[in-house]
Amino acid sequence: MRDRARRAISECKHIATMSEEPDRITRRFLTPPVHQVHAHLRARMEAMGMTIRVDAAGNLCGLWQPAGARGARLIMGSHIDTVPNAGAYDGILGVALALEWVALAQELALPLALEVIAFSEEEGVRFGVPFIGSRVVAGRFDTALLEFKDSDGVTMEQAILDYGLDPHCIAEAAVDDDALGFVEIHVEQGPVLDSGGLSVAAVSAIMGQTRLSLKFTGQANHAGTTPMRLRRDALTAAAEWVTAVETYAIATEGLVATIGKFAVDPNASNVIPGVAQLSLDVRHPDDTARNDAVDVLLAKTSAIGARRGLTTICVREMDQPAVPMDERLTAFVTEAIDACGFRVKTMPSGAGHDAMVMAARMPAAMLFLRSPGGISHHPAETVLEEDVEAALHVGRKFLQRLTAESR
């Protein structure tokens, strides 16, 4: 297994050289280096005896259909696009490991059909909209997206044509019903496994997410002539609310709340701020808990505003429900983790993943690998050889179990 783990890691490092930029990893949807990735994966899959096709959105799909395979196929995969100045493992490790899982199934002669999908787009960098690849596979692609333009003014439709694909065939790329589920292997991209000393975990759900923008409006005024008790300072009100959000989130199990944007007006050192504008991002694996949290936090803005003589406005920009992973497939993953002698851990994912989109179409599960230092979306992102090896042991048990259950 150690050799397989090393091979998966070196695959990621090799594919990391296929970049839009010379000294860093940047690989957006259907840009030239994606041709290199496709050529590389195609050769690898062909050597493994898989049947390959590239769909109209640039998803590379390899099918392993062993003689005597019974029943539906399991689909595995993750994405091959990256954020700008990315690490070498986000997404691509899930493809490299899925191929190693296929190699294990071949070695064990499991009568289980397996398809590996290298999703063309997940990060949302080029067109500002994420999950393009998995939306197409899941049959959840809105063709209005074809008119979206990248920063060079190229439409998605043109980008697909330029790559040599036919955007009119997107509807045909939707997955058929002959799939028993989807499994995605992915780096955790956070510090939970690392802080707990764990190699792997099963994912229970992708957290739901609410994004809001807020505005505290008071009165801008002279910093020297306005006594403290006569001020309506938007910044100090907003600051009080920011710390209240943190206090509430710390005290609420499973909740993460972030104020990532903060702007004051007029933003001058001798003027009391009249306006403070903020963003709020709230996530929780349970939708009721998330909605309750949003209600409480908004009530606090009104209370703080009222006490300080300010008005508050809040606009809800996004409400995305949580996506629970499939119980049965996830139980197979946790039982495989247990059977391999690793400590069992299930955890929600605070980040979105292709599995979230695929879950709309079929049972879906995820296996997380430790992110050392909790670092991701950064060149310092890495994985430990022992954790990749752990994911291979878990995969072997999982596939054996799934084969036995599919009989």
Binding interface with Zn ion (CB under 5 A): 90-91
Read out DSSP for 41-92?
Answer: HHHHHHHTT-EEEE-TT--EEEEE--TT--SPEEEEEEE----TTB-S-TTH
CA pair distance 147, 166, nearest whole angstrom = 15
The nearest distance, CB 144 to Zn ion, in angstroms, is 25
Partners of residue 316 on adjacent β-strands: 212
Nearer to Zn ion, 91 or 363 (CB): 91
The nearest distance, CB 118 to Zn ion, in angstroms, is 12
The nearest distance, CB 104 to Zn ion, in angstroms, is 23
The nearest distance, CB 368 to Zn ion, in angstroms, is 11
CA pair distance 196, 138, nearest whole angstrom = 34
The nearest distance, CB 366 to Zn ion, in angstroms, is 11
Nearer to Zn ion, 55 or 90 (CB): 90
Nearest CA to 385 out of 372, 399, 367 is that of 372
The nearest distance, CB 130 to Zn ion, in angstroms, is 10
The nearest distance, CB 160 to Zn ion, in angstroms, is 22
**CA distance from start to end of the chain:** 27
Nearer to Zn ion, 121 or 286 (CB): 121
Nearer to Zn ion, 90 or 387 (CB): 90
Nearer to Zn ion, 117 or 297 (CB): 117
- The torsion angles phi and psi of 296, rounded to 5 degrees, stand at -65, -45
CA pair distance 325, 328, nearest whole angstrom = 9
Q: Which residues contact 325 (CB under 8 A, 6 or more apart)?
A: 202, 203, 204, 205, 206, 355, 359, 364, 365, 366
Nearer to Zn ion, 189 or 204 (CB): 189
Q: Tokens representing 122?
A: 């997940």
Partners of residue 315 on adjacent β-strands: 213
Partners of residue 184 on adjacent β-strands: 366
